[in-house]
Chains A and B, each alone.
Chain A
Amino acid sequence: RKEVEQDPGPFNVPEGATVAFNCTYSNSASQSFFWYRQDCRKEPKLLMSVYSSGNEDGRFTAQLNRASQYISLLIRDSKLSDSATYLCVVKGNNFNKFYFGSGTKLNVKP
């Protein structure tokens, strides 16, 4: 079983739409959680960390549900520039081992 599972998509949405991604993780002892963004043919870059209480950064909201072992990312008022692959990342109980989901592709259309 994979450490982190995501729906690969693609999610095709119009500009201005709200879109949500989920991912699940298998290790209940995982410590830290993140969303990374990867543009085509580029390296992954940190989008935001995910806190137990939930956190927001502009149009982006991340939530963590430890009981159900899933993480979510909500994007409001989608922009064309949001088109990318969104990677769910979990840091395991081995302190510095980061596990990446396979990514969810988002296409925002005009």
Chain B
Amino acid sequence: DAGVIQSPRHEVTEMGQEVTLRCKPISGHDYLFWYRQTMMRGLELLIYFNNNVPIDDSGMPEDRFSAKMPNASFSTLKIQPSEPRDSAVYFCASSLGQRTTNEKLFFGSGTQLSVL
């Protein structure tokens, strides 16, 4: 199994530019999560999907952020326009959405975003 695949690994851009982060979840997983990690705030949940439908986007910081999941094998997180305070590591994670008490999250390697 290839695991969760994210691209790009690193992204350096200038303030005001559009940034698109990509994620391919593990095949068969029906939940997909986008997290952001910074030193100050740790890991924050931005949004999650179930069966390609956004369930909770309350963690999306503002309208500049948007996420889509057009099919079960692909999701994007877009920031437009980007700002320096968006600099962080963005992780995508997926899980099997069974109603068990011991659910596991599998993370991608993350995208290190730097907005200059």
Contacts and interface: CB of A to CB of B under 8 A. Distances in A.
Interface of A: 31-32, 34, 36, 42-46, 49, 87, 89, 91, 94-103
Contacts of B50: 96
B108 interface: yes
A53 B116 CA distance: 49
Contact of A98 (B42, B55, B101, B105): B105
Interface residues of B, number: 24
Given A32-B103, A49-B102, A43 B110 contact: yes
Given A31-B101, A96-B95, A97-B48, A44 B56 contact: no
B42 A103 contact: yes
B107 A43 contact: yes
A97 B42 contact: no
B12 interface: no
B84 interface: no
A1 B56 CA distance: 20
A44 B45 contact: no
A35 to B, nearest CB: 12
Contact of A46 (B41, B42, B56, B104): B104
Interface string B44-72: 01001010000110000000000000000
Contact of A43 (B45, B104, B108): B108
A87 B35 CA distance: 14
A94 B56 contact: yes
Nearest to B49: A96
Contacts of B33: 98
Top 8 nearest A-B pairs by Cβ distance? A102-B42, A43-B107, A100-B43, A49-B102, A32-B101, A46-B104, A44-B107, A96-B31
A106 to B, nearest CB: 16
Nearest to A8: B42
Contact of B48 (A45, A96, A99, A100): A96
